[in-house]
Structure 1
Amino acid sequence: MAEILREIGMISRALDSISNIEFKELDLTKGQYLYLVRICENPSIIQEKLADLIKVDRATAARAIRKLEINGFIVRKNDEENKKIKKLYPTNKGLNAFPFIIRENTHSNQVALGGFTQEETEMFYQLLCRARRNIEVDWKNVKKGKKRVY
């Protein structure tokens, strides 16, 4: 049923558009808030793991991380044991933006799930997680250069 993925895409693009407009006052643009939230939730995360969490390629993650660093939301620090590994941490500016982003996310969840019962919300969440896990298999394979069979 192709309509399901179209609906998910429309929801995602609408919420992303809203967030990009609302977060301009924080100097966050083009989805950077996604990266900042994950870094705040997982201080010391490495770039590759962050890209995997958000489901983007490394180049896309690198650009967003670089902009966050330039704008003072995050810092990169060398790992204590392996100096080649750079860990990502939120700055005070990033930590100050975090609650605003979470409030927006909570509000968006409440609007999106308006009229849903607790059981419907839980079922919807479980089904979306299952769909994501299904897609992750193809996503990981395509990242490795494999072709999907249609």
Structure 2
Amino acid sequence: MDTLMKYIARIFRCSILYRNEVLAHEGLNGYQHTYIIKICNHPGISQEQLARMIYVNKSTVTRQLALLEQSGFVTRKPGSADKRTMLVYPTQKALDVFPKVKAASQAWNDALTEGLSGEERGWLFSRLSLLMERAEAEAAQTHEGRDMQ
């Protein structure tokens, strides 16, 4: 039986393989692409905010940030109000690679939508946006229910 998740998961896994290949010479893997984009767009974001923004658990963020920090892409500093809160900043290395990371995203989007008219692309993105909003609402509702137990 075909399910929506079959298609979404396959596209996601293929995108990771693509980014692994395209960004390897920059010292990044396919998963770190999202972190670079979010951290460069939101310097000083907390690890907790980052986890919520990209819909992964805090331990995953901590592991990926440790790798990015070891590679010289980010620095982490304790927050001034709460020393337990770690704030994440891009280094110059991250800022230098940022345009290449965005270009890789654009190239992937272009490859997937090649041959679609502007109208078809608009329709596709509006439907995907709707599905994303529903997924976020469902995940938030599930997460809130878990927190209440």
Identity of aligned residues (%): 28
Partner of 1:89: 89
Q: Which amino acid aligns with 1:96?
A: D
RMSD: 1.9
Q: Which runs of 5+ in 1 are unaligned?
A: none
- Whether 2:39 is the aligned partner of 1:47: answer no
Query: Could you tell me how far apart the structure 1 residues matched to 2:53 and 2:138 are?
Result: 15
User: Displaced runs of 4+ in structure 1, greater than 4 A?
Assistant: none
**Cα shift at 1:34:** 1.3
**Cα shift at 1:30:** 4.8
Query: Could you tell me how far apart the structure 2 residues matched to 1:141 and 1:62 are?
Result: 24
Deviations 1:51-85 (A, max 9, x none): 12211111111110111111110011233333332
Partner of 2:71: 71
1:113-128 to structure 2, matched below 5 A, reads 113-128=113-128
Q: Which runs of 5+ in 2 are unaligned?
A: none
Question: How many positions carry a matched residue from both structures?
Answer: 146
Query: Could you tell me how far apart the structure 1 residues matched to 2:110 and 2:90 are?
Result: 27
Query: Could you tell me how far apart the structure 1 residues matched to 2:62 and 2:13 are?
Result: 22
8 Å CA contact 2:23, 2:30 repeated in 1 = no
**Cα shift at 1:45:** 1.0
Query: Could you tell me how far apart the structure 1 residues matched to 2:81 and 2:37 are?
Result: 26
- DSSP-derived class of the 2:83 partner: coil
Partner of 2:15: 15
- Whether 2:103 is the aligned partner of 1:110: answer no
Q: Which amino acid aligns with 1:94?
A: A
**Cα shift at 1:126:** 1.7
Partner of 1:32: 32
